[in-house]
Amino acid sequence: MSSEACSGPTPVPASSGKTSWSCSRVSFFPPWHAAGTTRPRLLWFPLEGDKPVPKSTDVIKDLVINAGLQEIRAALLEEGLPAEIFVERALRPPLLGNIYKGRVSNVLPGMQSAFVDIGQDRDAFLFVADLFPGTRSGGGPSPSHGRVPSVECLVKPGQEALVQVIKEPLGGKGPRVTTQISLPGRSLVFVPGRAGRAVSRRIEPDGERLRLQQLADAIPGDGGFIVRTAAYGSPPGLLGEEARWLRRRWEEIRSASAGAAAPDCLHREESLAVRVLRDLLTEEVRRVVVDDESTLEKCRVFLRSYAPHLVTRLQRYEGGGPVFEVMGIEKEIQRALRRRVWLPSGGYLVIHPTEALVAIDVNTGKYVGRNARFEETALATNVEAAREIVRQIRLRDLGGILVIDFIDLEHEENRQELARALEQELKSDRARSRVLPISEFGLVQITRHRARPGLESLLCGPCPVCQGSGRLRTPQTLRFQIQRELKQTAGLAPEGPWLVRAHPAVVAEIQGNWSSFLEDTGFVSAEGIQIESVRDFHPEEYEIRTS
């Protein structure tokens, strides 16, 4: 990152739409049904004979929404198994996609970043690549704009900025924000102030891509638009109506920003149920099962506006038990919280998230193959594991750096076959990812976009016993530690007798090695020392004092 001479800070636009922006993958839904908001009339025009036909798929998909008073959960099922799980709680509302008028609290030239107060517990992190108009979100300058100025040339402490959250707080870090605002609808993403039209790469075949590109090019006015996958088969009128609504929504945000005092939230994302419909409901989804009437009505309102042809896929759950339990989703959630995942063949995975990366180990386990050739057994296990690994990555929402330790394969053609199998499975993942070639040690590195905490972080907290490390000192280790400490303490203060209080497991270890314990601590007999078992003690807790 080069540094250029500064003549003063370049204002961060808080209410102007004339700056060039780049698009971020964030969620946004205009509240059609909000009080006092006029819902635009969107008409669904059936296409004549040459209506594009969606690419066929053999995967049966369903959406299931479980809504409670303070928690709402959603699951995307593929072939009856959960592929993605979403959880939202009232006590911990998500920030992703929210738009704030913030104030720069600190500028760090050495990190080429700034911190912005958006009214949360922690200030938001703003990297220079998410600040300078026209830069790429991955860092580095846009070729058409040359070098990126240093962050101190762009912002100063106390300066106001209009920002959008692109990454939830993770661990001890605050949220990450960008000044490159984007407003997604169901079929379009509006990028204020940016020229050009683009179509999602996921849309096939080429004929439909060309048709949608022509429809996008026909949208009048300024601003950039990206056609989303959900626009497949959309009639001409639908894209134009949505484009006009997104522009109006952007003007509302700019107007609110002009009169707001920083820090202030100008827009909050819609509920999880609406976001799931917006981002996941396509022609491939056969039904949407909802277990709450109020939530079901919100879904109807959304679909009547955005995709009236899909309203009939909404179903009210009328089963006799909790919908997640009846449909087997609860069981898979519990399975996703375990470290070990068994494969149908008898092999298994060990998934271990750490602060730096996620390590995944593949083992043959009980699977011994159908012949004597280990290479074939290893390949079969690896290919089977690749399929389950991708499912677990999506289900657990694992992100960042993932390192997979596959079973070693000697032949290059087998490694290539495994690589192809892994890449094929990753095509079903909506998150951006990159797969590096298999190393000579059988390791595969994957980088996957992470915008929110994973499933485990949402549902679990650190263990109060081991503080999240997953490890405890053994009773034997604690016995030796007590011996050393008691010997030193008793030597400095000979008066006694001495009392050792410890967890029952540690006491059992001491009593099982009583003679050596007395000898190592320097006690001639047991008269000078007493051992007390305390069930309420932490497994590593002990106390040494005079009785």
CA atoms within 13 A on the CB side of 168: 19
- Distance from the Cα of residue 240 to its chain's centroid: 32
- Inside any domain, residue 116: no
Instruction: Tell me the mean pLDDT in the region 523-529.
Output: 76
- Inside any domain, residue 74: no
16 pLDDT band, cuts 50/70/90, is very low
pLDDT at 18 over 70: no
- Inside any domain, residue 437: yes
Same domain flag for 447 and 513: no
Same domain flag for 449 and 367: yes
Same domain flag for 485 and 455: no
Same domain flag for 435 and 344: yes
Instruction: Tell me the mean pLDDT in the region 182-207.
Output: 87
- Inside any domain, residue 499: yes
For the stretch 134-178, pLDDT in tens is 443 344 444 445 577 889 989 999 999 999 999 999 878 899 999
- Inside any domain, residue 273: no
37 pLDDT band, cuts 50/70/90, is very low
Same domain flag for 407 and 485: no
pLDDT at 309 over 80: yes
Which of 402, 430, 459 lies at the terminal end of a domain, its last residue?
Answer: 459
pLDDT at 30 over 80: no
What does DSSP assign to residue 391? H
32 pLDDT band, cuts 50/70/90, is very low
- Inside any domain, residue 446: yes
User: For the residues of 160-206, what is the DSSP string, one character each?
Assistant: EEEEEEEE---TT---EEESS--EE-SSEEEETT---EEE-TT--SH
Same domain flag for 437 and 341: yes
**Reduced to 3 states, what is the DSSP secondary structure of residue 547?**
coil
pLDDT at 19 over 50: no
CATH assignment at residue 532: 3.40.1260.20
Q: What residue numbers bound the domain in which 482 lies?
A: 475-546
Higher pLDDT, 462 or 142: 462
H or E stretch covering 506: helix 504-512
57 pLDDT band, cuts 50/70/90, is low
- Inside any domain, residue 295: no
pLDDT at 4 over 50: no
Same domain flag for 359 and 427: yes
For the stretch 101-111, pLDDT in tens is 999 999 999 99
- Inside any domain, residue 23: no
Q: State what percent of residues in the chain have pLDDT above 90.
A: 55
Q: Residue type for 146, please? A: G
For the stretch 496-505, pLDDT in tens is 788 999 999 9
Provide the pLDDT for residue 399.
93
pLDDT at 256 over 50: yes
Provide the pLDDT for residue 237.
84
Number of domains in the chain: 2
Same domain flag for 410 and 446: yes
Strands of 433-435's sheet in order across: 340-342, 348-353, 358-363, 400-405, 443-448, 433-435
Same domain flag for 432 and 380: yes
For the stretch 391-412, pLDDT in tens is 999 999 999 999 999 998 888 8
Instruction: Tell me the mean pLDDT in the region 72-88.
Output: 95
Same domain flag for 502 and 432: no
Instruction: Tell me the mean pLDDT in the region 466-477.
Output: 88
Same domain flag for 349 and 408: yes
Same domain flag for 352 and 455: yes
